Structure 1
Amino acid sequence: MLKPAFSVRLLGDRYDRGEVDAFVDRVVATVERRSVGPNVTVDDLRNAAFRTPLLGPGYRADEVDDFLTEAERWLPDRPAARPSGSVNGERTAPLFTPVRLREGYAPYEVDEFIDRLMATVNGLPVKRPVTVREIRHVQFTPVRLTEGYDVAEVDAFLDTAEGWLS
């Protein structure tokens, strides 16, 4: 893995170059399985924060943020999205991949709907069972810059769940 070359800017959203360089060096070492200190985890990537230089140049924040999001796929300890399946005769919902910088669905809305959906599919008591029509028309609030669920994964799961109820 090559170290990225971020654009430098004097004004606008930018991060301290020294902090970013040090963190990126750790990311690259973790991916290449070289020991230069503690390995970077997915949580480290998601919670990374860098100072904004008061005066002087810094790396473009959007480029650094995009790199950190992409780097999650390269880490050896990255949690895999759990596919939907069956446990002890009950269908299970997948664990959706969280996204931060690209558009995602509001997790609390998705979780609430999926809980009702899974209760319906598994024949458990639920105040308002989910219908095929509701699956086809459900709309979740899109979120950006805060953590959300991967849109494509949620939509694909809803297509699968619609088949379960049909």
Structure 2
Amino acid sequence: MSQGAFRTVSRLRHGYAPAEVDAFFDRARRVYEGKAEGSLTGRDVRGTAFDLVRGGYVTGAVDAALDRLEAAFASRAREEYVARHGREAWTAQLADGARTLDARLTRPDGERFAPAGRGEPAYDRADVDALCRRLVACFDHREPMSADEVRSATFGRRRGAAGYAEAPVDAFLARAVEILLGTE
């Protein structure tokens, strides 16, 4: 994408730093087109963060573009893997990945993740558990669910031991997104 590819917020609000966003998307485009050294994966895209600055790019628009970019790199990785190893090997790899989520998904509600530390922000356990039950239905009973549904999930806020620690939940859901992208 070229510079100025996203709308900006007013000078009184915060958005993503335009120079960082433009540089990242320019690099991603060059890597995707094979015109730049190095590699970029869906996981790399998902882990990308930008500074917030006054008058920056609208975060929702950039985040949506990052989601599309992640899906594009994940799709390419799937195609390359299938070309080298076959569709059955890809399916087996996805099944193995889904099994790595089982340990958490099979835990009882309220016990899937560690509680947050004293006074730390946390996710509402019931909200997280509801999403985990949907993931179980998807993986075990083939009920439809997209990576976007997991990405866009929101959870009520809690503090301390009343909720799940955010980092382990975020890491787990990132892995679930990776597996779901492999099936889309």
Give me the TM-score of the superposition, normalised by structure 2.
0.45
Which one has the bigger strand percentage? 1
Higher helix share goes to which structure? Answer: 2
Structure showing greater Rg? 1
